Amino acid sequence: MLTNDQVESFERDGFLVVPDLIGVQDCDALRGRAAEMVADVDETKVSSTFSTTGAQARNDYFLASGSGIGFFWEVEAVNPDKTLNRPKELAANKFGHAMHDLDPTFDHFSRRTGMGELAADLGYGGGLLTQSMYIYKQPGIGGEVTLHNDHAFLWTEPMRTLGFWVALEDATTENGCLWALPGGHKIGQRSRFRRDGKGSTALEEWADPYPTEGLVPLEATTGTVVALHGLLPHRSDQNRSDKSRHAFTLHVMDPAAEWVDDNWLQRPDGLPFRSF
Ligand SMILES: O=C(O)CCC(=O)C(=O)O
């Protein structure tokens, strides 16, 4: 699927933008399914928000979403009394993290649209799917995602995690596209998010933060897949525009690597990680 130049570019930069990998019909089907799922959420029972800039609800609901499907609201969409200040389909920040194994539409999108072949070309043949997310980046209130790499949250020994970020709508600098640091995957790991034995989680940062100079925008049209090396620093801005920017992310680990048992995301015996 990929040319040698594309593979070399991924190895050099730590990312690769692959336009038009996924058909618009498949993107629309995923958006339609997400709309059904958020319509079914009882917002009086879900009070988790998601933000990478402030204190987060790191609770049992979040931890359970590693092997289920949990919804998280935008901070700016929640009133002080925890009610939502707008319709829930415009209030959701994201949902995750096991739809690829639990929902047929997400399973199809993850396993039957070419991402398996892309993973194999990037050295992840037989890779195990560890995490999926549907990210809204809502118009007006879509929150910033601060500079990080994904391996800090999805740790393997040795460090072998690959991410796919799929544009379900056009993503531009106006509505909060990804930004990445070319070659930044060679800097090494500088943080780790782990859980303790009591069900709490914390982000440990043990070296200088990643440099914020030199990041480039990764604008993407609908159906584009951005492959991200697990160690690549990336971020996205707030979305203050009037355009939404829905995206889907999928993470893959090398089947020869070990999934460590203090990762926040753990699967029960009955729901092991599966391949494409
Ligand atoms: O979709 C975004 O804005 C950023 C997503 C991201 O970086 C992540 O979830 O790791």
- Average pLDDT over all residues of the chain: 94
Examine residue 75 and state whether it is found in any structural domain, yes or no.
yes
**What spacing in Å lies between the alpha carbon of 200 and ligand 1's midpoint?**
22
**In which residue are the tokens 């100079």 written?**
213
Q: Domain residues for 34? A: 4-265
Instruction: Note the pLDDT of residue 54.
Output: 54
From the list 94, 99, 122, 123, the residue with the least C-alpha distance to 21 is 122
Looking at residue 90, the DSSP 8-state letter turns out to be G
Per the domain annotation, does 102 fall within a domain?
Answer: yes
- On whether residue 272 sits in a domain, the answer given is no
Which mutation among 168, 178, 191, 235 tests ligand 1's pocket best, with the greatest number of atoms within 8 A of CB?
178
- Which whole number is the average pLDDT over 108-116? 97
Q: Which CATH number does the domain housing residue 33 bear?
A: 2.60.120.620
What's the farthest any 2 CA atoms get from each other in the chain? 55
Residue indicated by tokens 């930069």? 13
Say if 275 falls within a structural domain: no
Number of structural domains (the chain) is: 1
According to DSSP, the β-strands at 191-195 and 161-167 are unpaired
Rg (CA), the chain: 17
Q: Is the pLDDT of residue 55 over 70?
A: no
Q: Is 90 exceeded by the pLDDT of residue 57?
A: no
Amino acid, res. 82: K
Q: Is the residue at 239 inside a domain?
A: yes
Residue 146's nearest CA partner among 260, 241, 234, 239 is: 234
Q: Whose CA is nearest to atom 3 of ligand 1?
A: 236
* CA nearest to 231, candidates 147, 132, 173: 147
* CA–CA gap between residue 167 and residue 39 (Å, rounded): 22
Nearest CA to ligand 1 atom 8: 150
Regarding the beta carbon of 166 and ligand 1, being less than 6 Å apart is answered: no
Give domain status of residue 273, yes or no: no
Is 251 close to ligand 1, i.e. is its CB under 6 Å away? no
111 domain-assigned: yes
pLDDT tens sequence across 225-240: 999 999 999 999 999 9
pLDDT of residue 92 exceeding 60, the answer is yes
Comparing CA positions, the residue from 194, 244, 219, 234 lying closest to residue 91 is 244
- Please report the pLDDT score of residue 198 as a whole number: 79
Cα–Cα distance for residue pair 253/157, rounded to 1 Å: 10
The enclosing H or E element of 9 equals helix 4-13
d(CA 183, CA 164): 17
Q: Is the CB of 224 under 6 A from ligand 1?
A: no
In this prediction the pTM is: 0.96
Kindly state whether residue 271 falls inside one of the protein's structural domains: no
pLDDT band at 53 (very low <50, low <70, confident <90, very high): low
60 — phi, psi (to 5°)? -60, -35
Q: How many CA within 13 A on the CB side of residue 45?
A: 6
Report the alpha-carbon distance of residue 173 to residue 158 in Å, rounded: 34
